[in-house]
Amino acid sequence: MDLSSYTLPDLRKLQAKIESEIRRRSDTTRRTLLKRMQKMAADEGLTLGDLLEAPPAAAAEAKPAAKRGPRAGAKKAKPVSVVKYRNPANPDQGWSGRGRKPQWALDWIAQGKSLDELAV
């Protein structure tokens, strides 16, 4: 299909028709599939609700047991944050040297001073 001869308004009309047709077909397919699934469930003496609401015991049985080693599930301890640098303007503010530099350290460096001067 060559669309180069269509004007922009024609293309927009065509787009609207296509979107409408996609919605219509999607709805039809969904309804048809739902009816088929309801019939399959009814043939087994169940409803779709019965299938969708799995009992907790069945859900637990469905999951395979995870292999567990001697330290399985153990969390790594976070490293202790030891303050290596202090803000000379406010000694309550410290930085471990890990992660993003605090603004006061960036300001210090911007003044042409060395970070080593802030070392504790």
Tens-digit pLDDT profile for residues 33-88: 999 999 999 999 988 888 888 666 655 566 666 666 666 666 777 777 788 999 99
Query: pTM for the whole thing?
Result: 0.40
Q: E strands within 3-115? A: 85-86, 94-95
Q: Which of 97, 99, 118 is nearest to 107 (CA)?
A: 118
> Which residues, at least 6 apart from 84, have a Cβ–Cβ distance to it below 8 Å?
94, 95, 96, 97, 119, 120
**Percent helix, strand and coil across the chain, each rounded to 5?**
50, 5, 45
Q: How does strand 94-95 pair with strand 85-86?
A: antiparallel
Position 40 scores a pLDDT of 93
CB count in 10 Å sphere of residue 25: 10
